[in-house]
Amino acid sequence: MGNLLKNKVAIVTGSGRGIGRGIALLFAEEGAKVVVNDIGGAVDGTGTSSSPADDVVNEIKQNGGEAVANYDSVATMDGGESIIKTALDAFGKLDIVVTVAGILRDRMLFNMTEEEWDAVIAVHLKGTFSVCKPASVLFRQQKGGRIITFSSISGLYGNSGQANYGAAKDGIAGFTRSAARDLGKYGVTVNSISPGANSRMTGTVPQSSRDLRAASGIGMEGQGAGPAPLELNRDPDDVAPMVAWLASDEAHNVNGNVFHCAGGQISLMNNPSEERTLRKKGRWTVEEIDAMFPGTLGMDMVNPSPKQPPKSKS
């Protein structure tokens, strides 16, 4: 076992399977005591089971580590508070929070229901807040702590059929940047991971959706994160080492960043910035914008989803 997180207490939400499981196992291997949170539901958030969280706890204990299970939903403030309380009751303190829990309810915008929107926002975006809020109160008091949230390429760049998921994940990126500024002066760091891994969630994406995204120049990997390696295993466990390092004392001055992790690739993602600017004294007229836009702001601009030509009648 390692010592990178020795004597630390960590919460990992959604850690009964996939990426979260890999993080919980590595945290324990590096010496942390872990709260394994998972409701044990299906990919769409329906159903519950204690087995996924219990299985990870048992695996950690069999390997000589310490862990307890928690089955609360992150989608409510009471659930978030209870998850924090589990750490304090079991181990007497809390040092690290990692918010991996998530669901998918993919649907094209024109077919998406209010329930599909609300469910995804509740688990991802509110679920990040519901756990981080009570943790931040504690971290502020103790003058230290680590928060690692989970964003996504779907939010940072956009994926068709994922308006709900993308909105939540881009919201988490914004949450991370703001929370880092709220908490940094208290010795707390807040960073985010945009993972690229084969998991239960990515496994539910139909091939037709993958083909549509590829045709639009939107793959499951990150654009802007540099060229992808020729062989990218995309194992869920590949994400864990960067999360463990960000959770450690070694990353004390890394704050407010988003990192894309996929296989053997780790990329620091850029924050939004001005790419091109038009300036004049006074207000622009519509006619001036119309004349100037094509050769300035609109130059080389790519439409990610251009209008399709009408189908020819056979």
Tens place of pLDDT per residue across the chain (314 aa)? 789 999 999 999 999 999 999 999 999 999 999 999 999 999 888 898 999 999 999 999 999 999 999 999 999 999 999 999 999 999 999 999 999 999 999 999 999 999 999 999 999 999 999 999 999 999 999 999 999 999 999 999 999 999 999 999 999 999 999 999 999 999 999 999 999 988 555 555 555 555 554 555 544 444 444 444 444 578 999 999 999 999 999 999 999 999 999 999 999 999 999 999 999 999 999 999 999 999 999 999 999 999 988 887 76
Going from the C-alpha of 78 to that of each of 65, 127, 235, the distances in angstroms are 28, 11, 33
**Within its chain, how far is the Cα of 314 from the centroid?**
46
Determine how many CB atoms are found less than 10 A away from the CB of residue 37. 33
Question: What confidence score (pLDDT) does residue 310 get?
Answer: 87
> CA triplet 261, 93, 193: central angle to 5 degrees?
10
Residue where the block lists tokens 């850690």 = 15
Run of H or E including 258: strand 258-262
The Cα 231–Cα 219 span in angstroms is 15
The pairing of strands 66-70 and 33-37 is parallel
The pairing of strands 9-13 and 258-262 is unpaired
In terms of Cβ atoms closer than 10 Å to its own Cβ (0-12, 13-18, 19+), residue 95 is: buried
Examine the residue annotation and report whether 165 is marked as an active-site residue of this protein.
yes
Question: What confidence score (pLDDT) does residue 311 get?
Answer: 82
3-state secondary structure of 13: strand
Residue where the block lists tokens 């239960």 = 200
Question: What confidence score (pLDDT) does residue 227 get?
Answer: 47
Going from the C-alpha of 26 to that of each of 40, 56, 230, 288, the distances in angstroms are 20, 11, 26, 58
The Cα 18–Cα 246 span in angstroms is 19
Is the separation of the CB atoms in 246 and 195 below 8 Å? Answer: no
Residue where the block lists tokens 């914008």 = 289
* Structure token pair of residue 4: 């990178």
Question: What confidence score (pLDDT) does residue 202 get?
Answer: 55
Question: Which of 71, 157, 165, 186 is the catalytic position?
Answer: 165
Q: 162 pairs with which residues across the strands?
A: 107
Tell me: the pLDDT tens digits for 236-279? 999 999 999 999 999 999 999 999 999 999 999 999 999 999 99
> CA triplet 60, 64, 67: central angle to 5 degrees?
40
3-state secondary structure of 193: strand
The Cα 8–Cα 32 span in angstroms is 5
The Cα 57–Cα 11 span in angstroms is 12
User: What is the number of H-type helices and E-type strands within the chain?
Assistant: 11, 8
Question: What confidence score (pLDDT) does residue 198 get?
Answer: 80
Query: What is the pTM for the complete model shown?
Result: 0.90
3-state secondary structure of 159: coil
